[in-house]
Amino acid sequence: MRDRQAALEAKRQALLEAGVDMMDPSSVYVEDSVQVGEGTLLLPGTILRGDTVVGRNCQIGPNVMLTSCTVEDECAINASQCEESVIRKGCQIGPYTHIRPHCVVGEGSKIGAFVQLKNCNLGKGTKMAHLTYVGDSDVGDDCNFGCGTVTCNYDGFQKHRTIIGSNVFVGCNTNFVPPVQIGDGAFIAAATTVTQDVPQDAMVIGRTRQQVKEGWAAANREKKRKK
């Protein structure tokens, strides 16, 4: 136990001497196999494990666990977990993001609150701000995913892949039922379930038309009161 504590303290000290900053070194856990670049700030609750490599001028934490990940320069990761994946330069991750194994997040992408990624490749500048699941997918550059987007990758027996081009707009509460391919520049209307391929620059909408029944709510309340 003493040897492990001494090794942990020695690792933290070596990082500090190499130009890594820590607000509270005693609250940071870094395994000996980990590499961290100069100018990076490790905030309280940071756990770096396995073959993790963090680049220069990043901000990691608070409350982040990285396991065998590569994080390139100038990334910010807040209150999130990431395993066996690559985060390219200048990404913003979190809070409350879970990046599962075999993901590559493209340069300058923003992955926000309650987003989960699994076995997917994201291009540059793609944004998933909140409440999204993307698994077994390839996504191009500069896409925007609205809240509540889901790739329905598992049919109960096999996993299927969703392929999305660049500059695609995905409206809120969209479901992709793969295998499907979405062409560059496509526009997916909110609340659409996509079950077929979408051509380049097309708009797809798959929801029932809204109906407005004036006075229905008041009449229904009156009916309920009389019972």
Question: For 127-163, how does the pLDDT look when each residue is reduced to its tens digit (9 = 90+)?
Answer: 999 999 999 999 999 999 999 999 999 999 999 999 9
Instruction: Mention every residue, 6+ apart, whose C-beta is less than 8 A from residue 14.
Output: none
Exposure on the CB side of residue 150, measured as CA atoms within 13 A? 10
Active-site positions read 130
Q: What is the pLDDT of residues 179-201, one digit of tens each?
A: 999 999 999 999 999 999 999 99
Which of the four pLDDT bands, split at 50, 70 and 90, describes residue 102? very high
pLDDT of 82 strictly over 90: yes
Q: What integer pLDDT is reported at residue 4 of this predicted model?
A: 83
Which of the four pLDDT bands, split at 50, 70 and 90, describes residue 208? confident
Instruction: Mention every residue, 6+ apart, whose C-beta is less than 8 A from residue 44.
Output: 23, 24, 27, 28, 61, 62, 63
Contact 119, 102 (CB under 8 A): yes
- Secondary structure of 157-171 as H, E, C letters: CCECCEEECCCCEEC
| Residue among 217, 176, 214 at smallest CA distance from 196 | 176
Q: Please report, for the domain that includes residue 62, its CATH number.
A: 2.160.10.10
Contact 120, 136 (CB under 8 A): yes
pLDDT of 217 strictly over 70: yes
Q: What is the DSSP letter of 33?
A: T
Q: Per mean pLDDT, which range of 140-149, 164-173, 201-210 is the poorest?
A: 201-210
Average pLDDT, the chain: 97
Beta bridge partners of 48: 30, 66
Residue length of the chain: 227
State the average pLDDT over residues 76-83. 99
Q: What integer pLDDT is reported at residue 1 of this predicted model?
A: 59
Identify the domain containing residue 11 by its residue range: 4-226
State the average pLDDT over residues 65-86. 99
Count of domains forming the chain: 1
17 phi-psi bin (left φ>0, alpha ψ -120 to 50, beta other): alpha
State the average pLDDT over residues 202-208. 94
Number of neighbouring beta carbons within 10 Å of residue 113: 17
pLDDT of 12 strictly over 80: yes
11-39 residues labelled b (16+ CB within 10 A) or e (exposed)? bbeebeeeebebeebebbbbeeebebbee
Q: How far apart are CA 97 and CA 113, in angstroms?
A: 6
3-state class (DSSP) for residue 206: coil
Strand 81-83 relative to strand 104-105, pairing: unpaired
| Residue among 90, 121, 93 at smallest CA distance from 107 | 90
